[in-house]
Each structure stands twice: as C-alpha cells, then as structure tokens.
Chain A
Amino acid sequence: MVPAVAVLAAFLLYPIGYSLWLSFHEWSGYTPTWGPFVGIANYLALARDEVFWKATWNSLVFVIVRTPLEVGLGFLLAILLNRKMPARALLRTLFFVPVVMSLIVVTIIFQRIYEPNTGLLNAMLRGIGLGALAHPWLGDAVTALPAVIAVSVWKNVGFSLVILLAGLQSLPQDVIDAGRVDGANAWQLTTRVIAPLMRPILALTGLLSIIGGLKVFDLVFIMTRGGPTYSTEVLATMLYRQAFELNEMGVASAIAVILVALVLGTARLQTLLVSERDEARA
C-alpha cells in the first residue's frame, strides 16, 4: 500500500506542483537553475499569442467534432451488433483492432492514403469519377484538421462500440421486453427505452472521448506536426514545441497547467452534471 501511494503521489502531485511553479518562471532549460520568477508573465504571453488561441480552438474543435462521431457511430454499431447474428464475437474483435494498433502505424498508413498524387483516397475519387474532389488533404489548411480528426474517429470508434455493447448487454431485459410487448417498433424502442437507460454509459464513453481528444499528441505530431501554418496545432503539440524546439520551459509548463485544468475541469463538470440529473430523477 505504502509504495503504491508513494509512487502515485510522486507521479501525480510532484509533476503538477513542479509544472505549476515552473510556469511562473522564465527558463530555457539549458542553465543549471531556473531563470527569474516572472509571475504570470508566461500566461500573459500565451494570451497575446495567436498560435495559443489557434491551438486551443483546434483542441476544442477536435473534441467537439470527434466525440459525437465516436460515441454516435459506436452506439449505432453497438445497437446493430446487439442481436443474435452469426460471427458476432468475431465482428467485435475486428472492430476493436484499430484501437490496439499503434498510432505511428495508423498515422503512416493514413499519410499514404491522404497523399495528393498517388494516395488511395484521391485515386479512389478519380476512379469513381469524382476526380474534381481530389485534394491535398493534409497540405491544405482547411482540410488538414478534419482529415486528422477522421483518423482519430476511425481509430477510436471500436473502443466506444465495445463499452456501449457491454452496456447494452447489461440492461434489464424485462424493461425492453415490456416496451416490445407494448408495441414499440425498433426505432421507438431505441430512442425511448434503450437510450435513456444507456445515458450514464453514453456519458462515460463521451467523457473518455473528450479527455482523450484534449490530450491528443502522437497523431497530430506525426501526421502534420501541427501544420500547415498551425492549422492542426493543438495544445499538446504546442507544449512540445515550446519546450523542446523553442526552449521556453516556463511557457510550456503554463500550457501543461492549462491542459490539466481543462481535462480535470471537464471530468469534474461531467460528474456534477450526471449526478445532478440522477438526483433530479430520483
């Protein structure tokens, strides 16, 4: 017990405290000791930095677009899989494969698929006579972020699917049967009976997706490095750039603190919303 607490504390509280304190200092990372205490100057510098707002905006867009798609598609597939059918277990296994694949693998495959001249996506578009839509997906500041988000959705839908399917299978069968006896069709059954019962599990899946979206790093870093012209820069990639390319350890720490506040704030907000609703219903 004691070692676990010690390790947990060391790996949680220490970095938070360290980053918070460092975010009030100026430091290149190269001198043996930190530079001068600068108060909230690093935060003010971020507030004046267009790239920071761009990165924050992109992180939010990432979450706002990704989470509904991930949870929605996952729920749709879970409902379709939640019936007797041949090879159901195999289907679930295969849908989950992208989740266990490494992001570096996924990213390189999709870079190839998105490649403008000989990439698979444009080749397919030309093949079916939609050549006019062929596009340098990752090279254009307008389509780069949606293209990256699409890959993220592709990789994570299986996770939502598996959690939601387990949730569906844990629902009280008699309530659903009662709905069916009362003459509800499949659509009514899904929207009026199953969806409300599933709300806590949908909320959990959504929360996991939001948190995952705020943290996203590998995918963006490998696929676009935040470009072109910061169109895919997110908080985590900006943090890395500030710390290890621009040698602004204080500013990078400030971004880390903001990121943690966003993530823990979201988690807290979600718990409050869910428990309030439950109380209202009780």
Chain B
Amino acid sequence: MTRASATAAPAHPRGGRRAALGALAAAGVLLLALAISIAPGLYMLSMSFMDNPQLFAGRLVAWPLRAQNYPEAWRASDIGRLYGNSMIVATVSMVLTVAISAFAGYGLGRIRFAGRGIVYALVLVGLTIPLQIALIPLFINLRSLGLLNTRLALIGPYTGFGLAFGTYIMKGFFEGLPRELEEAARLDGAGEFSIFARVMLPLTRPALATVAIFLFLQNWNEFLFALTFITEGAMRTLPTGIYALLSSEFYGNYPILAASLVLFSIPVLVLYFLFQQQFIEGLTAGALKH
C-alpha cells in the first residue's frame, strides 16, 4: 500500500490535497453523527439538573444546577426498591442462563450426537422468534400458578429466552478451541466432565463475559414481560417503575423524570464502559460467524 501511494503520488500532484479534503469531510460527517448520537443523552443529563422554568424556557444547559431533583426522583419512584428488584431479577436470570448455555454450547460445539442439527435449528429459531408469541401463554400459566407479581414471573422467562443467544455464542466459541487440547487432557486420563470444567470452560472466559453482559443488559432493560407479569408496585423493576411515573403526579415533570432516567442508566453505562471492548468484540464475532 505504501509503495502504491508512493508511485501514484507524482502522477497526481493534487492527490495529496484531495485526500486531505476527503479526510476532513469524513471527520466532519463522523463528528456530526457523533453529536447526534450523544446529544439526547447529554440533554437528559442536563434536564435532570434543571427546574421547570429553565426547562420551559427551552434552555439546553442547566444553570444554576438543581441537584435536589435527584433525592426527589429517588423518593418519587421509590427507586431503591426498583434497583433491588431489577438487580435480583437481572442477575439471577443471567447467572442461570450463562450456566445452562455453557453446557449447551459445549454439547453443540464439541460433541456429536443424534439430533444435534435439530437442537441447533431450535437455537436459531430461538434467536429470531418474537417474544410476543409467549406473552399470552406465559401470562395464563403464571396466573394459574399464582406466580404473577413475583420475581419468579420474570426470572423464569428471562432465563429461558436468554438461552438461545447464550448457547449460540458459547457454541461458536467452543467450536473454535483446538481439538489437541481435548485429546491431551484425555491422554492424561481426564474424564468427559473434567475436560469440560477444567480444560475448556476456563478458556471461554471472554465468551462467558460477552454473554453475561449482554444478558444482564437485556434483562435490566426488558419492558414487555415486566409490564404484563408485574401489575402491582412492590415487585416492579426499573423500566416499568419509571413507566408508572408517567401516569403519576410526576407526569410532565421532566426534571424529575430525567433524574430517574439518569439513575436508571448509571449501572448500564458503567457496566458498558468497563467491558465495552470485550462486549462489542464478542457480539461481532458471534454475528460474523453466521
């Protein structure tokens, strides 16, 4: 590449300037797109420090800062409890899904068994199928089991519906591990299970992390099931708890709403920024293997 541009340069004396203009235009487009991407989030942050007169005056930047929106938002939606519920539901379902997916991914990726094609087809269907198909059957069954308005009403479905994604990513990763590892362990006298648990599983840490983060975010943000299966206040998770604010006395009180939204988003953003490298790479590797 360097050689090509070196020989081409003298032939096109304006090439350098055109390339520089191109780079400038590219940077301009990227910066504009970036501004559009992050402006709404920053606006939310700014709104969360405004009072209503500032908001209605159409201010972009809050000044003076009104920090008491935060304690008010905290009280308005009882966010402490919502946090607790969301944390329990999202974490427990995530851990269960990761555990089951690790086994299933190993089985699909490394063991030849009858019906493997069908199981894998199920996984692919599970990746694409709309959750709405399960809304009514789950609602009816949860109701007759007396499980509506319990944490189990969300933990069960979240675990089940995360499984296709978890298994898909884990299978892809297990498949990529070299066969020699397994054979060496077998020669050393390791049994099937200890090959899985001691040799293979530790190597899949990046994939496990991707699955865990993705599922946690998905469970944390999930709205439809949470809206339908939790109809009373006590067991609500954050998304529906904040949704309920919209039909309370805080309707239209955007500073308070924005402060709640910031509080809601903090764990997600912290988790994302801490693990984004691993998360994005795991996701894209999964998608490109398709």
Contacts and interface: CB of A to CB of B under 8 A. Distances in A.
Given A4-B100, A120-B43, A167-B288, A162 B1 contact: no
A202 interface: no
Contacts of B44: 105, 109
Given A80-B30, A93-B276, A98 B132 contact: no
Contacts of B27: 85
B239 interface: yes
A165 B1 CA distance: 20
B104 interface: yes
Nearest to A12: B126
Given A77-B30, A118-B55, A162-B284, A256 B133 contact: yes
Interface in B221-245: 221, 223-224, 228, 238-239, 242-243
Given A11-B163, A12-B129, A102-B265, A95 B136 contact: no
B268 interface: yes
B283 interface: yes
Interface in A103-125: 103-106, 108-110, 112-113, 118, 120, 123
- Please classify the interface of chain B as helix (H, G, I), strand (E, B), loop, or mixed, using the class held by over half of its residues: helix
B64 interface: no
Contacts of B38: 94, 97
14 contacts: A5-B119, A77-B30, A81-B30, A93-B280, A102-B223, A103-B223, A108-B257, A108-B258, A166-B288, A180-B1, A180-B4, A217-B223, A221-B223, A240-B228
Q: Which 5 A-B pairs have the closest CB atoms?
A: A4-B104, A11-B160, A166-B284, A15-B134, A1-B107
Interface of B: 1, 4, 8, 22, 26-27, 29-30, 33-34, 36-38, 40-41, 43-44, 47, 55-58, 60, 100-101, 103-104, 107, 111, 113, 119, 122-123, 125-126, 128-140, 157, 159-161, 163-164, 167, 217, 220-221, 223-224, 228, 238-239, 242-243, 246, 254, 257-258, 261, 264-265, 268-269, 272-273, 276-277, 280-281, 283-285, 287-288, 290
